[in-house]
Amino acid sequence: EVQLVQSGAEVRKPGESLRISCKGSGYSFSNYWITWVRQMPGKGLEWMGRIDPSESYINYSPSFQGHVTFSVDKSISTAFLQWNSLRASDTAIYYCARQTTLATYGWVDPWGQGTLVTVSS
Amino acid sequence: SALTQPPSLSGAPGQRVTISCTGSSSNIGAGFPVHWYQQLPGTAPKLLIYGDANRPSGVPARFSGSKSGTSASLAISELQAEDEADYYCQSYDSSLSGALYVFGTGTKVTVL
């Protein structure tokens, strides 16, 4: 079974750093882009960007570029989303999802269960 | 920018509801495929329709997708209680100033 399992909920103060993870299993991790999606409390889905685990190519949404960093560790089939200086407005659920290679401009499936990040002083 | 969906729709069990997803010439209107996701309360989104009108294995046939011009639609025929959820469309966007992929603003479907 193809599965993405994300790390648990985190609570941080503004200005602190954080790295959350997304571990893939049941498929060849290097062959599929990983997409990150933000969902702020009570709001819709926002595409943050994606990373190609095999070559580490990255596409960031302009809305997130410079504030977050994507990375991967192929040896443990895990993708990471990192902040160096969190803001209260980063409070949200963050999802990772696998992008299909079956078609260009393809869909994402499956999704991880989400990681709740709370930033509060 | 995000694709535009109606914030909410409702219907009685057994009725048909249709969710619209309006884009522009840089995404849906350019012919890029539209995908739909269902998010049940408190859960992660799940793929519902891919490539405009295709259902993944396990998705009931009462869900169908279509596209025309700069818009796409998701229809739920014979609405059931378990269909109460948020629904999002997604497409690729070729405008150089924005994100590569955009989601719709989301539609909350309520079963009366």
| Interval A26-56: pLDDT, tens | 999 999 999 999 999 999 999 999 999 988 8
pLDDT at A63 > cutoff 80: yes
A21 interfacial to chain B (CB closer than 8 Å) = no
Q: Which of chain A's residues have a Cβ under 8 Å away from the Cβ of B103? A: 37, 44-47
* A72 in Cβ contact with A22 (< 8 Å): no
What's the pLDDT tens digit per position in A67-118?
A: 999 999 999 999 999 999 999 999 999 999 999 887 789 899 999 999 999 9
Question: DSSP per residue over A50-63, as a string?
Answer: EE-TTT--EEE-TT
B87 interfacial to chain A (CB closer than 8 Å) = no
Cβ-Cβ contacts under 8 Å between A and B: the total is 71
Distance in angstroms (rounded) separating the CA atoms of residues B84 and A17: 37
Chain centre distance of CA A79: 7
Q: What is the mean pLDDT of chain A?
A: 96
Residue B2's pLDDT is 86
A24 interfacial to chain B (CB closer than 8 Å) = no
Record the tokens describing residue A50, joined without a space: 């994606």
| Mean pLDDT, residues A16-24 taken together | 98
Record the tokens describing residue B25, joined without a space: 């010439």
Percent of chain A with pLDDT over 90: 92
Q: Which of chain A's residues have a Cβ under 8 Å away from the Cβ of B28? A: none
Q: Residue B96: pLDDT band by 50, 70, 90 thresholds?
A: confident
φ, ψ of residue B15 in degrees (nearest 5): -80, 170
B31 interfacial to chain A (CB closer than 8 Å) = no
| Mean pLDDT, residues B27-41 taken together | 97
Q: Residue B73: pLDDT band by 50, 70, 90 thresholds?
A: very high
Looking at chain A, the number of H-run helices and the number of E-run strands are: 0, 11
Residue A54's pLDDT is 87
Cβ pair A107:B106 closer than 8 A? no
Q: Which of chain B's residues have a Cβ under 8 Å away from the Cβ of A37? A: 45, 103
Cβ pair A45:B88 closer than 8 A? yes
* A24 in Cβ contact with A112 (< 8 Å): no
Q: Which of A59, A103, A113 has the CB atom closest to B44's CB atom?
A: A113
Residue A55's pLDDT is 81
Hey, which residues does A5 pair with through a beta bridge? A23
B112 interfacial to chain A (CB closer than 8 Å) = no
